[in-house]
Amino acid sequence: MAHALSCGAATAVGIDLRQESGAYCFSRKVEAPSGVRFPGVVRARQLRGKGSKSKDIRCAMPSGNEHDGISTATASGSDHKKGGLRGKLNKVVLAYSGGLDTSVIVPWLRENYGCEVVCFTADVGQGAIEMEGLEKKAKASGASQLVVKDLKEEFVSEYIYPCLRAGAVYERKYLLGTSMARPVIAKAMVDVAKEVGADAVAHGCTGKGNDQVRFELTFYALNPELKVVAPWREWDITGREDAIEYAKKHDVPVPVSKKSIYSRDRNLWHLSHEGDILEDPANEPKEDMYMMSVAPENAPSKPEYLEIGIIAGVPVSINGRDLSPASLLAKLNEIGGKHGIGRIDMVENRLVGMKSRGVYETPGGTIMAAAVRELEALTLDRETMQWKDIIALKYAELVYAGRWFDPLRQSFDAFTEKITATTTGSVTLKLYKGSVNIASRKSPHSLYREDISSFENGEIYNQADAEGFIRLYGLPTRVRAMLEKGI
């Protein structure tokens, strides 16, 4: 399910700039195009500045039946008051992608719950293509309002980086790209619901996947009073053809673009592929499926060296250049994709019980994970590293299962932040035809000492001491052997 949005139906006639709580707010007054009525005051509001983690643009939609040649299906006030076929809700915030499914959900919600529908889309780095034309689609489906938030920096710094610091990997391979994105989107939906006075939220996740759990556990954790509507668990629509028929019946424009044979989810961290030939684990993925990376055999013949600067367990720079979290990840995606880095093909155990097969492209994330893990080899002692690895398994499971706001995961964060406080330094990587190899690593907090590790005798380590250590360390083994031999 994609999450993107663009905004801007009306014509600006005046702009005023004021400062609100340390952030600059653009308040743009707009007027409706000729012949189109807007319900109430319309403003495009954008917050920027210190303490502002996201940009918020809100669009009011026309209440007429025609705008720019697009038929709209806005419900009347009397429709909202009398309720729908399944009950009555006042206002619902819908996780909106602009695809067929979520476009159909808009009129379905109005018809079945007699409610106003506010479409919400989060920009988590899925790309400009997925954000094109969403305003028109939302209008045509009958949405009363469209909200977009740029969550890329928040996504990387507050969701990806904690997982990276924890070393979280699900079932040995999966770097949790979709799992990390769902709670940041769902949290923003809860915020929007409060802003617009909604009493319910809705999503387009199917009843067979993990995402329904991830969205709803976040809703429960942050606002248990919100009602949750999951149309795929309620309606009679069973597939694409049914959805197209429903769309035509309710004057919702059907997307004319070619339907991808794969089910994909893209964000700044990764791109996942499922469905079609991938449903048979025996089938090799086709090369034309990949979108973020070249085939390793087609990557440059010359290796590229990359220095990753790390502070307290998270990357901060590339080749000495400091970058914001989102910018750094985007740059590593570009570099890694060019060298065929980060392709994963796996069969995983879904939370709902079934196995599924997916192919993931995570070029930048693979580079980040390799660099952080290698620096930890210098800065963490044996016992700490072992406990960190144990916790990483449970951490990944919690994130995969949608329990981002669980106190246990938050407690694990406190542990990993403490033990990685000294994981600071730099790692130089060698990228070559799909591989990431370590060229060098250094840290001011390194526990590695050449004067101790050298084969030459030194003042700190006396090789003769090893004999007594071995006799004591091996005593249980020796006693067991003595028992078996009757000694």
Nearest to 8 by CA among 39, 33, 40: 33
Contact 187/217 with Cβ under 8 angstroms? no
DSSP of 431-451: EETTEEEEEEEE-TT----HH
Query: What pLDDT score does 239 carry?
Result: 85
For residue 22, the 8-state DSSP code is T
What are 377-415's pLDDT values in tens digits? 999 999 999 999 999 999 999 999 999 999 999 999 999
Q: What pLDDT sits at residue 463?
A: 86
Check residue 294 and give its pLDDT.
Answer: 98
What pLDDT was estimated at residue 5?
36
- The two most distant CA atoms of the chain are separated, in Å, by 102
Q: Cα(427)–Cα(479) distance, rounded to whole angstroms?
A: 45
Mean pLDDT per block of 10 residues along the chain (487 residues) reads 36 35 36 39 38 48 38 44 81 94 95 97 91 85 93 98 98 98 98 98 94 98 98 92 91 70 93 96 97 98 98 98 98 98 98 95 98 98 98 98 98 98 98 98 96 77 90 96 95
pLDDT of residue 40: 38
Q: Which residues pair with 227 in a beta bridge?
A: 200
Under DSSP, is residue 113 helix (H, G, I), strand (E, B) or coil? helix
* CB-based contact 419:388 (threshold 8 Å): yes
Query: What's at 261, amino acid-wise?
Result: I
d(CA 447, CA 419): 14
The amino acid occupying position 484 is E
Cβ atoms < 10 Å from Cβ of 392: 18
Q: What is the pLDDT of residue 255?
A: 64
In Å, what is the CA distance from 183 to each residue of 15, 199, 208, 380, 393? 34, 19, 18, 30, 19
Contact 264, 273 (CB under 8 A): yes
Of the candidates 28, 54, 63, 101, the residue annotated as catalytic is 101
Quick one: CA dihedral 287, 288, 291, 296, positive or negative? positive
How far is it, in rounded angstroms, from Cα 8 to Cα 185? 22
Rounding to the nearest 10 degrees, give the CA dihedral for residues 464, 466, 467, 472: 150
Residue bearing tokens 């009958």: 142
Catalytic annotation present for 263: yes
Grouping H, G, I as helix, E, B as strand and the rest as coil, residue 459 is coil
> Other C-beta atoms within 10 Å of 262: how many?
18
Strands 55-60 and 43-49: unpaired
Q: Are 95 and 203 in contact (CB under 8 A)?
A: yes
pTM, full prediction: 0.83
Distance CA 373, CA 377 (A): 7
CA distance 23 to 45: 12
CA 164 to chain centre: 13
> Residues 27, 71, 157, 263: which is the catalytic one?
263
| Sign of the CA dihedral with 194 first, then 196, 201, and 203 last | negative
Question: Which amino acid is residue 233, in one-letter code?
Answer: R
Please give the radius of gyration of the chain, using alpha carbons only, rounded to the nearest integer: 27
**Can you spell out the DSSP letters for 351-415?**
TTS-EEEEEEE-HHHHHHHHHHHHHHHHHS-HHHHHHHHHHHHHHHHHHHTT-TT-HHHHHHHHH
Residue pair 325/156 in contact (Cβ under 8 Å)? The answer is yes
Q: Which residue has the tokens 């989060």?
A: 122
Distance CA 260, CA 249 (A): 24
Q: Quick one: which of 59, 71, 66 has its CA closest to 107?
A: 71
Identify whether 101 is a catalytic site residue.
Answer: yes
Here the tokens at position 165 are 């610091």
Q: Which of 191, 211, 266, 272 is catalytic?
A: 211
User: Which listed residue (58, 110, 182, 214) is catalytic?
Assistant: 182
